[in-house]
Amino acid sequence: MTIKEILVPDIGDFSDVEIIEILVAPGDTIAVDDALITLESDKASMEVPSSDAGVVKEIKVALGDKVSEGSLVILLEVEGAAVDPAPAAATQPVAPTVEAAPVAAATAATTPAATSAASDLRQVSFERTHASPAVRRIAREKGIDLNTLQGTGRKGRITREDLSNAGQRVLKAFVESSKGGQPVGSGTTAPTTSGIPAIPEQDFSKFGEIEFQPLSKIKRLTGINLSRAWLNVPHVTHQDETDITEVEAFRKSLKAETEKQGVRVTLLSFFMKACAAALKTYPTFNSSLDGSGENLILKKYINIGIAVDTPNGLVVPVIRDVDKKSIFELSAELMEMSVKARDKKLKPADMQGATFTISSLGGIGGTAFTPIVNAPEVAILGLTRSQMKPVWNGSEFVPRLMQPMSLSYDHRVIDGAQAAHFVRTLGILMNDVRRLLL
């Protein structure tokens, strides 16, 4: 047998990415591409797969560690010629970077401290506990330290029921805890550095049963980024709709052809092409303000970010050089990026470099909304569900498929007339996609 080092593969330009989950244990038999650990950056979470099959000999990382490309993850025993054993120093377990915080300490502080403690609990090492990967994942999500629990399952294994009982104790301690020993919601507010009055805390348990569930890192950081954009960018949203009857008929006519290629063409691909053409016509929408706020940086490339909803939060993979790709190419890339986003396979590089963003809720519903500009971009297009409407053609009302469009923009860079022209141009292009060839 051979001992092989399994390293972190290429994860793009990012380094020092935090480990939020260890998915294997010493003695586990794994196959090629089985997930070993889960990493979480400020934009996405991703699983690190094994490059080889074998038996896990030793885990060389701990929860909360930060790794980069080339970092050692595990020692794997694989089939092959015998080799000299690894040096003794290499067999020493790596100490966790953060000590395990007792549940009582994590839940006996004010709300800001409780939030910090919940974050620390996600970094606690559960290596000495006897629990399945699913139970470990739930414990981290709910801020429960498995090291403090006594399992009731076979051979002391910690079960979901044990987590449920512990979760109720954590919740009760959290609700009853506060600064100075007063109930949460007694009039204290979380500190804020923005100068904006904080929303007073309340003891919601007085009104019924509640559950404490920490946000994922992606949602926490997305909230920070969106709040920053909302506070710094003077937002205006322009609403309009366009007739997509003909383009939808054309899209459906491609069904047989696209099935042969294994591609599903959606209206989003057509909107991406139309946006690329409109961005060329109105390059201000494809720009960013410099740090001084006095100059525009006009970009000569068109990369469009597509907001994708995943169980862990919103991520925005980027489709590059949209103006240079066909509808089929865009559709195939959209499918690939969506799958990678939902399977936690996106790399940081997949979410960088967008010049414009589209957020589509068409598959869910709605008539309009106000998307938040993804700064440092200066505009974002929101799409909701299209619907049949009676439209006057000059002599009679005829049924037409109408698509709502919501364009939010940075009013420091774009004025209302420019926004109206941009959206109108999009409408004209989507009325008749043959114009994309002109």
List residues with catalytic annotation: 411
Burial of 294 from C-beta contacts in 10 A (0-12 / 13-18 / 19+):
exposed
Residue 304 near residue 318, CB atoms below 8 Å:
yes
Paired with 314 in beta bridges are 309
Residue 152 near residue 165, CB atoms below 8 Å:
no
- Cα 196 to chain centroid, rounded: 27
Spatial distance between the Cα atoms of 70 and 15, rounded to a whole number of angstroms: 10
Three-state DSSP state, 123? coil
How is 25-90 classified by DSSP, letter by letter? Answer: -TT-EE-TT-EEEEEE-SS-EEEEEPSS-EEEEEE---TT-EE-TT-EEEEEEESS---PPPPGGG
- The helix or strand, by DSSP H or E, that contains position 317, with its residue range, turns out to be none
How is 257-312 classified by DSSP, letter by letter? Answer: HHHHHT----HHHHHHHHHHHHHHHSGGGGEEE-TTSS-EEE-SS--EEE-EEETT
Residue 240 near residue 423, CB atoms below 8 Å:
yes
- The helix or strand, by DSSP H or E, that contains position 209, with its residue range, turns out to be none
Three-state DSSP state, 227? helix
